[in-house]
Structure 1
Amino acid sequence: QTAPLIYANIARLACENRSLPQLKALKISQQQFKKATLNNDPAQAAMHNHQFHHIIGDMSQNCYLIPSLQRMLIDHTRLSQTFYRPASPAESALVRQACEQHDQMIAAIENRHAEVAVDLTLQHWALSQDRMERFVRPDPLPVELASPKETANAI
């Protein structure tokens, strides 16, 4: 529930406070992320995605939001491995879209377009949110209901 708020505010502040060395590091991280997604390596994709968002967090230079982001990234990185392990062509398309969104986020941060960065960040969160929530809260096991008469002699 709080993740979109934190990610969006981090993105806004990153546009305002980013440095050129941080932009360079973000672009390198994105290259590594792209390579991992193209190689269908979910563990590496998750780790490079973590690094990508961690760098954006550092760009924000906000001593209150960064610790919250770091705590979220731990769970997000673990859970995102399900996202980076697509089981269908539609899910593969979502991974490609996430990669494209990273490129767009870099451009928005580089050009200091805060509103664009915030919008992209929220779209990026929504892209994987459903898949990760299904992992955290899977469908319950089916329960067979039997009548009292059917279970009267059960041990």
Structure 2
Amino acid sequence: MVMKELDLQASSDMPVDRKAVLGVALRRRILSMELAPGAVVDELALCDEFGLSRPPVRELMRQMAAEGYIDLEANRAARVSSMSYQSLRSFFLAAPLIYIGTTQLAATHATPSEIEELKRIQTFFREAIEEKDVEKRVLYNDEFHLQIGKMAHNVYLMPSLQRLLIDHARLGKIFYRHPTSVDMQEDLHLAADQHDEIITAIENHDPALAGEIVRAHLELSRRRMSEYAAPEGLNVAINY
């Protein structure tokens, strides 16, 4: 969604909605870790940068707090939502339940046009891998799983998936950083191959197979993502 909205705002044929532009930019900065977890979100600086008064900026921050991007507390500056060890543990526990559930439902309910959109996103994801563009890898991976959530057609799962994807994208900055070893490069291509397998399972309306593939996909990314929570030299078990 972030990439699409940025493309739309860049179109000279569309009127500029400054609040919408700020929302897209701020979400992208958080997902890309340009704004680190726990960082102060400078309200006045954003007003100046995007030519907005404080009320619409505050309204946007309340909306983004409800989505899970920002933490708001009384009499304190807004901050980017934190990533504590407890929240990461909760992430790894919840991720299989939510991703497998949405993917299996997508395999049951997806329409042909929705599957074509998923294939389009996958094309951009592969291009980002070949171009070694870390930010686009993270954002298109986010788009891929968000599209699967839409294809599940379940209003109860979508809010949980959207919140999960915020931290998945931020953790993905570890997994999708420039490969430093042969095995990491192989993992990147394997992740892309698993995306293709997920698409095929959904297209064939095979929820059991789709669930198996996404579970393996999560395990692949979990091994890299856990490096954020357990840096080299620490012996910390992270299981789900």
User: Do these two structures clear the TM 0.5 threshold for a shared fold by scoring above it?
Assistant: yes
User: Helix, strand or coil for the counterpart of 1:56?
Assistant: helix
In the alignment, is residue 57 of structure 1 matched against residue 149 of structure 2? yes
| Post-superposition CA distance 1:124-146 (Å, at most 9, x none) | 000010211111232468xxxxx
Q: Of residues 121, 125, 128 in structure 2, which corresponds to 1:33?
A: 125
2:183 corresponds to: 90
TM-aligned CA deviation for residue 42 of structure 1: 1.0
Contact 2:174 2:227 in 1 (8 A): no
2:34 corresponds to: none
1:146 corresponds to: none
1:76 corresponds to: 168
User: What is the TM-score with the length of structure 2 in the denominator?
Assistant: 0.57
How far apart, in 1, do the equivalents of 2:160 and 2:230 lie? Answer: 22
Letter in 1 for 2:217: H
TM-aligned CA deviation for residue 21 of structure 1: 1.3
How far apart, in 1, do the equivalents of 2:213 and 2:176 lie? Answer: 19
Letter in 2 for 1:135: Y
Percent of aligned pairs with the same residue?
39
How far apart, in 2, do the equivalents of 1:140 and 1:126 lie? Answer: 21
In the alignment, is residue 124 of structure 1 matched against residue 221 of structure 2? no
Letter in 2 for 1:88: S
1:148 corresponds to: none
Change (3 A) 1:32 1:120: same
How far apart, in 1, do the equivalents of 2:216 and 2:155 lie? Answer: 25
TM-aligned CA deviation for residue 44 of structure 1: 0.3
Superposition pairs of residues 136-151 of structure 1, within 5 angstroms: 136-139=229-232
2:73 corresponds to: none
How far apart, in 2, do the equivalents of 1:71 and 1:62 lie? Answer: 15
1:102 corresponds to: 195
Across the aligned residues of Structure 1 and Structure 2, the Cα RMSD in angstroms comes to 1.2
How far apart, in 2, do the equivalents of 1:64 and 1:21 lie? Answer: 23
User: What is the TM-score with the length of structure 1 in the denominator?
Assistant: 0.88
Asked which structure has the greater CA Rg, the reply is 1
How far apart, in 1, do the equivalents of 2:207 and 2:111 lie? Answer: 15
In the alignment, is residue 3 of structure 1 matched against residue 95 of structure 2? yes
How far apart, in 2, do the equivalents of 1:106 and 1:2 lie? Answer: 22
Q: How many residues align?
A: 141
The list of structure 1 runs, each at least 4 consecutive aligned residues, that deviate by more than 6 angstroms after superposition, is none
1:149 corresponds to: none
Contact 2:118 2:144 in 1 (8 A): yes
User: Helix, strand or coil for the counterpart of 1:129?
Assistant: helix
| Post-superposition CA distance 1:36-95 (Å, at most 9, x none) | 011111110000000000000000011111111100101101111211122100010000
Q: Of residues 38, 45, 51 in structure 1, which corresponds to 2:137?
A: 45
How far apart, in 2, do the equivalents of 1:37 and 1:84 lie? Answer: 9
